[in-house]
């Protein structure tokens, strides 16, 4: 099994030794650079470029620059998606957003994880766990979502939250670590 196959299967892998993964990251980061430097009024080119970056997306996807991701092909976005400035999606693992998702500024979705054991970590090995976001979810500014998390439909995640565990549908959740404070 090569490093990309290991990555896609959630196994320990080395992203730095695999030429395919390196080339895919450079391609994606180049596309993000192009996207982030488009004129804000050039909406058609922005729409075309974001579709080139993402693995799958609905027709109504709007991401304010700056936007950064690792591979792009592991990101799936549904219809009616909006993200404010400075969205970061580290996507060696799959990241799936449902329909009608709104993301505040300075949010991050991180599927990459590094071993706690320093000897393994120092070898450059990492793993990736998927993130799944339901429909009608709203993220306040500065939210961080870690790998392995699922957020249910109609949830509201308060500004500054660090989501380390699954969040059910129809709730407001806040804090670090993020916890449910109210049913909707």
End-to-end CA distance of the chain: 45
- Active-site residue numbers? 114
Nearest Cα to Cα of residue 126 among 1, 4, 15: 15
Which tokens is 141 given? 């500014």
35 close to 50: Cβ distance less than 8 angstroms? yes
175 close to 163: Cβ distance less than 8 angstroms? no
Beta strand 125-128 pairing with 144-146: unpaired
């Amino acid at each position: 099994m090569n490093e990309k196959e290991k990555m896609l299967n959630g196994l320990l892998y080395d992203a730095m030794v695999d030429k395919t993964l390196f080339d895919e990251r450079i391609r994606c980061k180049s596309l993000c650079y192009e996207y982030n430097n488009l004129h804000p009024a050039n909406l058609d080119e922005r729409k075309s470029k974001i579709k080139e970056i993402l693995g799958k997306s609905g027709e109504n996807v709007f991401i304010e620059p700056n936007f950064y991701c690792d591979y792009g092909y592991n990101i799936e976005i549904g219809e009616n998606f909006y993200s404010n400035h400075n969205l970061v999606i580290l996507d060696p693992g799959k990241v799936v957003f449902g329909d009608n998702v709104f993301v505040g500024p300075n949010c991050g979705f991180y599927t990459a994880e590094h071993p706690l054991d320093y000897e393994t970590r120092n070898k450059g090995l990492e793993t990736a766990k998927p993130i799944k976001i339901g429909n009608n979810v709203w993220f306040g500014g500065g939210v961080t979502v870690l790998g392995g998390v699922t957020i249910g439909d109609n949830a509201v995640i308060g500004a500054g939250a660090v989501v380390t565990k699954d969040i059910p549908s129809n709730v407001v959740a806040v804090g670090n670590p993020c916890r449910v404070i109210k049913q909707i």
